[in-house]
Amino acid sequence: MSDFTRDEFVEVLDTAERMHAVLERPIRRVPTLRGTTIANVFYEPSTRTRVSFELAGKNLSADVVNIAASGSSVEKGESLIDTFQTIQALGADIVVVRHSRAGAPELASRHLDCGVINAGDGTRGHPTQALLDLYTVRRRLGDVEGRKIVIVGDILHSRVARSGIWAFARMGAEVVLSGPPSLLPDTMASLTNGTGDVRIEHDLDEAIEGADVVMALRVQRERMQAGLLPDLREYARRWSVNPARLQRAQRHALVMHPGPMNQGIEISPAVAYSEQSVIEEQVANGVAVRMAVLYLLLTGEGRR
């Protein structure tokens, strides 16, 4: 995500608008990518992202194969590279990779001639999620520039946050990160190398003041076991996005969540299903954005 320029973001978002128009037709299918093959290779279970890529491909008339792989090279005894070379040899034009290890898509692209799309790698990045978040905000609020985006939760372990921070910052938004310090190291404010407006405010009540967008991230129980959090009760008291806190944001503020949600922990149901929530829209927009990414990758020359 870090090497996307502002113009490239705009290009993807504009293309996604055109794809969105396709989705609103009675027959949601265009022949654009007929004859191409997309392989979804998921080393981690993910219904949402996998189905989104699958539908995106099918809407563009590509052939889509889903491959549920498991384990890393070491656990599995077959190297990631061998797996991908096999898939390429079988005729894939694009490989969509979800993997538990940061950098796995780079490893794949070093050894493959076909395109590689990162569908989430470890705690590192989830670029198409960031694009769809950007797209969702732009559709609802118009310009992203100058908007205050609050991202709250387990930033340390969040690939969504890592990609989102880059995307929103580069588009000129004010990005405020919130959460307990054990899940939000100071280095996260330096993620974008001093470009863009990114800062940390551990106190969510302060952070949310005047926000245009509030994005809650999933908090996992494992964080308690690892000693990063005392318990989820205290977490919810301090960092849950609830109606009282949301009052402090702008009246038009959007509530986002990349899913899956822990209701009552990082987000209260009253907020998740409120008028302000765009969580379902995020999912729907994901298809349009991924259509745009597939289209640009297969008809242009970019590679991610």
Judged by beta carbon, residue 57 or residue 180, the one nearer another protein is: 180
| Smallest separation, CB 212 to another protein (Å) | 25
101, 202, 238, 248: which one binds another protein (CB under 8 A): 101
| Smallest separation, CB 106 to another protein (Å) | 5
| Smallest separation, CB 100 to another protein (Å) | 8
Judged by beta carbon, residue 147 or residue 223, the one nearer another protein is: 223
Query: How many whole angstroms separate alpha carbon 105 and alpha carbon 36?
Result: 20
| Smallest separation, CB 148 to another protein (Å) | 22
Pattern 106-125, another protein, x by CB under 8 A: xx--x----------xxxxx
Judged by beta carbon, residue 91 or residue 181, the one nearer another protein is: 181
| Smallest separation, CB 149 to another protein (Å) | 18
Site size for another protein (CB under 8 A): 28
What are the Cα distances from residue 68, in Å, to 61, 109, 116, 153?
A: 22, 19, 16, 29
What are the Cα distances from residue 190, in Å, to 115, 161, 230?
A: 30, 13, 27
Binding residues for another protein restricted to 125-164, rule: CB under 8 A:
125, 159, 162
Which segment (10-18, 146-154, 186-194, 202-210) binds another protein by CB under 8 A? 186-194
Task: Answer yes or no whether residue 187 interacts with another protein by CB under 8 A.
Answer: yes
Which segment (14-22, 60-68, 100-108, 172-180) binds another protein by CB under 8 A? 100-108
Task: Answer yes or no whether residue 290 interacts with another protein by CB under 8 A.
Answer: no
47, 70, 86, 190: which one binds another protein (CB under 8 A): 190
Q: What is the DSSP string of the chain?
A: -TT--HHHHHHHHHHHHHHHHHHTSSS----TTTT-EEEEEESS--HHHHHHHHHHHHHTT-EEEEEE--S-HHHHSS-HHHHHHHHHHTT-SEEEEEESSTTHHHHHHHH-SSEEEEEEETTTB-HHHHHHHHHHHHHHHS--TT-EEEEES--TT-HHHHHHHHHHHHTT-EEEEES-GGGS-GGGGGTTTT-SEEEE-S-HHHHTTT-SEEEE----THHHHTTS-S-HHHHHHHH-B-HHHHTTS-TT-EEE--S---BTTTB-HHHHTSTTB-HHHHHHHHHHHHHHHHHHHHHS----
Which segment (8-16, 31-39, 72-80, 274-282) binds another protein by CB under 8 A? 72-80
Task: Answer yes or no whether residue 74 interacts with another protein by CB under 8 A.
Answer: yes
Task: Answer yes or no whether residue 104 interacts with another protein by CB under 8 A.
Answer: yes
Q: Which residues contribute to the site for another protein (CB under 8 A)?
A: 2, 72-74, 79-81, 99, 101-104, 106-107, 110, 121-125, 159, 162, 185, 187-188, 190-191, 193
